Structure 1
């Protein structure tokens, strides 16, 4: 059995949509970083998305763990034209589309962006590639809110809308056990 320890990156303090836009994380809470690192298995492989907020969080918790190359497939959802905009601005400019994006996630996508289903497929394919390359190894995957929720949705067999009801805090651990079928062991554990 492989266990994926999904870790959400350190906070960015952005007050807007942040998808593929690369902005830095604030890793100044060194006590929290130490608690997170201590709560993760020391022999697990470590991988992150290729965005700096995940790369830098992974570096902060590395502590001798074997590091795998960064993965573009583990990125946050691509919010397209919404990336960098405040939620209220999106709701004002695209009222019906923004409501549908959150209330009926699935195939609804922002202009020039990615739907829930497309992002979930991307993340699933990428993490399954990591598992196939490293069978029977536990993996710490430092990623993003949407990427992690997409895997909760798949592993729990719930709708995207139900998955969105879960919190995924910065520095949190969401544990998914990959047996013949996936199962969720814990969601949003903040050490």
Structure 2
């Protein structure tokens, strides 16, 4: 069984608000995203008594690093005391990054329709599929040997939930993944805090 994991999606960005595919673009948090990160840090501190003893790791993208720093500060911890893991980067949407699905539907309706039919296996031009992302996430999970808090992205979180709970791939990657709650994985069960 895995050690306890606290998984936190980065806070909101302006591109989240606009519905733009961020992928691996380095986008900063907006003010609401910073407030979400602070709220999540406070909630984690209240729910996980031994959080200071955890390993702390984040995606190297700016929005995840900033979320981790704010959350750690809200937990009363040194905001810079964490490490980065490239396997926690968001899925890359390749040539589609920066566009909304509505914009892509207008220029590439056939590709957007193919994605909607099989979001798990769909490979955007120059990008990666969720199936490929799951290999990265499983590689990261295999290295966890102690309680860990990770800050990453919605795509990574969806793949993590699919893997941990043996969910249908299409269902896993189409379900919402909040930015204003943390996922606590402990003793084989998952709860939101």
72 and 105 in structure 1: CA distance in 2 versus 1, 3 angstrom threshold? same
Alignment CA distance shift 1:114-1:37 (3 Å): same
Can you list the C-alpha shifts for 1:45-80, whole angstroms capped at 9, x where unaligned?
Answer: 221100000000000111326933211110111000
Task: Determine the structure 2 residue equivalent to 1:64.
Answer: 77
In structure 1, the partner of 2:184 is 175
Provide structure 2 residue ranges, at least 5 long, that are not aligned to the other structure: none
Aligned residues: 179
Note if 1:45 corresponds to 2:55. yes
1:184 Cα offset (Å): 4.2
Alpha-carbon distance, 1:168 to partner: 1.1
Shift of 1:170: 1.4
Match in the other structure for 1:116: 130
CA apart distance, 1:4: 1.4
Question: Where in structure 1 are there 5+ consecutive unaligned residues?
Answer: none
TM-score, scaled relative to structure 1: 0.83
Counterpart CA distance in 1 for 2:29 and 2:90 is 14
Q: Who is 2:109 aligned against?
A: 95
**Structure 1 Cα separation of the partners of residues 128 and 36 of structure 2:** 32
Decide whether the 8 Å contact of 1:46 with 1:139 is kept in 2: yes
Could you tell me which residue of structure 2 aligns to residue 141 of structure 1?
A: 150
Q: Distance in 2 between matches of 1:55 and 1:39?
A: 18
Report deviation, 1:172. Answer: 2.0
Change (3 A) 1:106 1:32: closer
SS at structure 2 position matched to 1:154: helix
CA contact (8 A) 2:120 2:173 kept: no
Q: Kindly state the Cα deviation for residue 31 of structure 1 after the two structures are TM-superposed.
A: 5.6
- 1:8 and 1:148 in contact (8 A); partners too: yes
Aligned to 1:4: 5
RMSD of Structure 2 on Structure 1 (CA): 2.1
Evaluate the alpha carbon distance shift between residue 165 and residue 106 of structure 1 in structure 2; reply closer, same or farther with a 3 A threshold. closer
**1: distance between equivalents of 2:95 and 2:127?**
7
Q: 1:185 aligns with which of 180, 187, 190?
A: 190
The 1-side partners of 2:180 and 2:68 are apart by 11
- Displacement of 1:142 in angstroms is 0.5
| TM-score of the superposed pair, with normalisation by structure 2 | 0.83
